Chain A
């Protein structure tokens, strides 16, 4: 088969895992890596799951590798922080069947809380890192990563970035390998290797250094297809990788190029030869100056972050401007049209009918100090809801609420709550909650349970009742869990019942012991979720233009500055009825109520 298809980078990674004969795939969803595992789930031959977090996902994949399956685990850059503990030791133990860790960085933070360069993790763990520059390479490098993993007895990081993960380009498809010996190896019962206790680990430590040397030799050899050297005009040479290669190639089609496929460790001899063959060499890399520093440490002269930015994604435009300013390119001024400088921004917002809106409206109204978390509900931090004060990382809200109390005492705890989503709670909130109970804290924790991992585009999790493959699964019960760890005050409340919500939150923050509140309503984007109302409209006789209904920040309600009345946009309103409850003048009416 040699079919060509236009594939998303993430899909090409999934395809690569399939063709390479992988039989196990794990992940915790995180933009921009999520689709890798969603696509893998479509292959019946790969046993795949959403794990509760990235640490667990990596541990499952390590187990599968030792047991004899080619395994791939996928996550976003911050996910590798969570999985750093097993990662830093699996580089010692090595693998049995190939183990590939696909990590997607998000330069420019399109959908992330920070900007990290995963190549540093490769260096920290002395683990090889491959970086593709288009979808074809996403597939090819995934397959190579499995081979390198087995050949050198090491996990391999496949580093992606948003532009590579979320761009489509043409890929030739091949068949899945049929070699049974590769697909399924025997379990590797080898305690000296896999028990990373001091005596064993000290021996493995030496092996890691030897392995790094061998990997360097391997990547230096052009036959291994991990470097791509194109000599054109030798006046300018460019050393680059990944998306930056594509941008630079577009801007400087006539320059000489050294493209790295393995971005750690670096092929020293081959790079040295390239630098010596060109008059002037630029290093173009997104985020950190990793190649640049290493190459300079060899005593070679190259130019990098002196002219290119460290912050954010690169683009052809940025590279063009930087090279122009360095006097390297003829100026080619592109005409750009502009309509108006200060156009209103359009940030993402909670969907019309989103059940997080009720709790946030009440938290704002009660003027509480709110530690928030990662998920759609982070959007509750923007006006008009402006209901949360902090977001650090997955699960942080709960520990931070306890920290508020440690710092300021019980009375302050009575003015504070933590809010967290269901998936985030399973990911890493539960340990924080146990900490509160054990250390006799008083915090109130609100779980906004919408029974799905919504922000990343609807993935299953332990509250969903379904697995990644769509099979039925146990639904883990928050109430039972809260009680089991010793919380006496566990309350479930309907997220749309504003009156009840207010009462419950007021009571629980004032209680002299920890409370767990669960606001339950499935995400409105889940198929089959129904609403109470239909055809709501503002009665202009009753509406006095008080703008109270605008405070819930529903995109379907706006204010007409001419009539000085609120208006409901019928094509956006889903009929959740929240605004009906908020309006004190009962001005929002329905034409018809469904039964």
Chain B
């Protein structure tokens, strides 16, 4: 299973990749997780690669080979959709975060991303994860809402996901994260 997480620095992509790593290890798979640190706090585009299976060599997902691209922001989803394999699924937050070139008015935020994806017959699942995160009680649980939706679209049992979250998320944020996970999981 190849998963690519695409996000904006500060959105919690690293935590999400940790949950996936834990999950894979718990179900007895070989697993590799790769991410680029350093600039991640500073609002840049960040990606994490998660691969698990019987034996994993390269820690990076090749373009055209991801089963799932999990996008924390719409533009980032569009940026990394080329990592999807044929019939792979893009699970994307519909939240938009303007990058600096858009903020200063040098370029526009593309408005027709969803429509273009539909035209190209890309399998997509969209969710307003920010909205659900707010509802869960903590705006920072965008990542866990998305993990919930990912779990629903994966062949791995729900209990395993919950277990991996429990083993990864710090105690004091656990309840709100489990709630956010449920909200993501119960979407269609």
A110 and B38 in contact, given A334-B85, A337-B84, A348-B44 (Cβ under 8 angstroms): yes
> Interface residues of A: mostly helix, strand, loop or mixed?
loop
B76 touches A339 (CB 8 A): no
Assess whether A397 is interfacial by the CB under 8 Å rule.
no
A457 touches B38 (CB 8 A): yes
Output the least CB separation between B129 and chain A (Å). Answer: 13
A339 touches B116 (CB 8 A): yes
Q: Please give the residue numbers on chain B whose beta carbons come within 8 Å of chain A beta carbons, in ascending order.
A: 8-9, 21-22, 25, 30-39, 41-45, 56-60, 62-65, 75-76, 78-79, 81-86, 98-110, 113, 116-117, 120, 122, 139
A457 touches B37 (CB 8 A): yes
Return chain A residues, CB-CB under 8 Å to B22: 6
B34 touches A163 (CB 8 A): yes
Assess whether A379 is interfacial by the CB under 8 Å rule.
yes
Output the least CB separation between B12 and chain A (Å). Answer: 14
Of A165-173, A442-450, A527-535, which binds chain B? A165-173
Please pick, from B31, B41, B64, the residue contacting A351 in the complex, using a CB distance under 8 A: B41
Q: Please give the residue numbers on chain A whose beta carbons come within 8 Å of chain B beta carbons, in ascending order.
A: 4, 6, 31-32, 34-35, 110-111, 134, 162-163, 166-170, 243, 246-247, 249-250, 315-317, 320, 334-340, 343-351, 376, 379, 382-384, 455-457, 525, 547, 550, 553, 555, 557-559, 561, 571
B65 touches A334 (CB 8 A): yes
B60 touches A111 (CB 8 A): no
A558 touches B120 (CB 8 A): no
The chain A residue sitting closest to B22, CB to CB, is A6
5 closest Cβ pairs, A-B complex: A334-B64, A348-B44, A31-B38, A111-B38, A348-B42
A167 and B36 in contact, given A249-B57, A315-B60, A384-B104 (Cβ under 8 angstroms): no
A337 touches B42 (CB 8 A): no
Output the least CB separation between A361 and chain B (Å). Answer: 14
Please pick, from A6, A246, A317, the residue contacting B25 in the complex, using a CB distance under 8 A: A6
A345 to B107, alpha carbons, bound, how many Å?
Answer: 10
Return chain A residues, CB-CB under 8 Å to B64: 334-336
B34 touches A339 (CB 8 A): no
A35 to B38, alpha carbons, bound, how many Å?
Answer: 11
Return chain A residues, CB-CB under 8 Å to B30: 169-170
A166 and B34 in contact, given A334-B85, A344-B101, A351-B42 (Cβ under 8 angstroms): yes
A32 to B101, alpha carbons, bound, how many Å?
Answer: 27
A553 touches B139 (CB 8 A): no
Number of residue pairs A-B, CB distance < 8 angstroms: 175
- Given known contacts A6-B31, A334-B86, A379-B42, what 11 new A-B pairs fall within 8 Å (CB)? A31-B37, A168-B21, A168-B34, A334-B63, A334-B85, A336-B63, A336-B83, A337-B120, A339-B113, A340-B78, A553-B100
A558 touches B98 (CB 8 A): yes
B31 touches A170 (CB 8 A): yes
B36 touches A336 (CB 8 A): no
Return chain A residues, CB-CB under 8 Å to B81: 337-339
A346 and B41 in contact, given A336-B82, A547-B105, A557-B103 (Cβ under 8 angstroms): no
A343 touches B75 (CB 8 A): yes
Return chain A residues, CB-CB under 8 Å to B82: 336-338
Return chain A residues, CB-CB under 8 Å to B35: 166-167
B43 touches A553 (CB 8 A): no
A243 to B8, alpha carbons, bound, how many Å?
Answer: 26
Return chain B residues, CB-CB under 8 Å to A558: 98, 102-103
B100 touches A347 (CB 8 A): yes
Return chain B residues, CB-CB under 8 Å to A457: 37-38, 41
Output the least CB separation between A324 and chain B (Å). Answer: 13
Return chain B residues, CB-CB under 8 Å to A550: 103-105
A497 to B110, alpha carbons, bound, how many Å?
Answer: 37
10 A-B interface contacts by CB (under 8 A): A134-B32, A168-B21, A168-B31, A320-B62, A339-B81, A343-B110, A344-B107, A346-B99, A351-B42, A457-B38
The chain B residue sitting closest to A245, CB to CB, is B57
A348 and B120 in contact, given A316-B58, A383-B104, A555-B100 (Cβ under 8 angstroms): no
A350 and B42 in contact, given A169-B32, A334-B64, A337-B84 (Cβ under 8 angstroms): yes
A182 to B83, alpha carbons, bound, how many Å?
Answer: 49
Return chain B residues, CB-CB under 8 Å to A382: 100
B110 touches A340 (CB 8 A): yes
The chain B residue sitting closest to A111, CB to CB, is B38
A376 and B63 in contact, given A344-B107, A346-B8, A346-B76 (Cβ under 8 angstroms): no
A349 and B32 in contact, given A334-B65, A339-B117, A379-B42 (Cβ under 8 angstroms): no
Return chain A residues, CB-CB under 8 Å to B98: 555, 558
Return chain A residues, CB-CB under 8 Å to B8: 346
Output the least CB separation between A312 and chain B (Å). Answer: 13
The chain B residue sitting closest to A352, CB to CB, is B43
Return chain B residues, CB-CB under 8 Å to A246: 57-59
Output the least CB separation between A9 and chain B (Å). Answer: 9
Return chain B residues, CB-CB under 8 Å to A320: 62
A360 to B115, alpha carbons, bound, how many Å?
Answer: 40
B85 touches A349 (CB 8 A): no
A337 to B64, alpha carbons, bound, how many Å?
Answer: 8
Return chain A residues, CB-CB under 8 Å to B109: 344
A550 to B25, alpha carbons, bound, how many Å?
Answer: 46
